């Protein structure tokens, strides 16, 4: 199945990205400044009925749409990255989000989504603000 020309599939992928992003954003807004990175990964997996990255969760094109994993990384300097990966009929799709802690708690400062979206370290390739 070629999803690149399938408009309903494109819309479904975009909606999944929005829903996963909203879920992660709502969770991160509730976290303290000293949030436990491993705890975040476990909580997101539990609350999202998913798997934490590296816990044996696997992706299979035979059962697309329900496999979901989260990987959480601390980049220092008050930055945390959350990568959500889920299966689709021809592979996987990914949403990578960057959060910075400030006076109002954790706020999203960047997002990249799409098949093959990398786990992004904002400190490796800083973007001028």
pLDDT of 35 above 80:
yes
Backbone angles phi and psi of 40, in degrees to 5? -60, -45
- Note the pLDDT tens digit of each residue in 52-88: 555 544 444 444 445 788 999 999 888 999 999 887 7
Backbone angles phi and psi of 60, in degrees to 5? -145, 130
List the domain boundaries for the chain: 3-114
pLDDT of 96 above 50:
yes
pLDDT interval class at 91 (50, 70, 90):
confident
Q: Give ∠ CA 67-86-2 in degrees, rounded to 5.
A: 110
pLDDT: which is higher, 21 or 49: 21
């Amino acid at each position: 199945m070629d999803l690149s020309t399938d408009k309903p599939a494109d819309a479904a992928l975009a909606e999944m990205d929005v829903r996963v992003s909203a879920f992660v954003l709502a969770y991160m807004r509730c976290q303290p400044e000293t949030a436990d990175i491993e705890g975040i990964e476990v909580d997101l997996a539990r609350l999202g009925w998913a798997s934490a990255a590296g816990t044996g969760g696997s992706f299979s094109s035979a059962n697309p749409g329900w496999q979901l994993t989260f990987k959480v990384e601390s980049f220092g300097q008050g930055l945390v990255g959350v990568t959500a990966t889920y299966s689709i009929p021809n592979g996987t799709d990914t949403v990578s989000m960057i959060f910075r802690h400030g006076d109002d708690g954790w706020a999203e400062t960047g997002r990249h989504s799409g098949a093959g979206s990398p786990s992004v370290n904002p400190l490796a390739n800083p973007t001028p603000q």
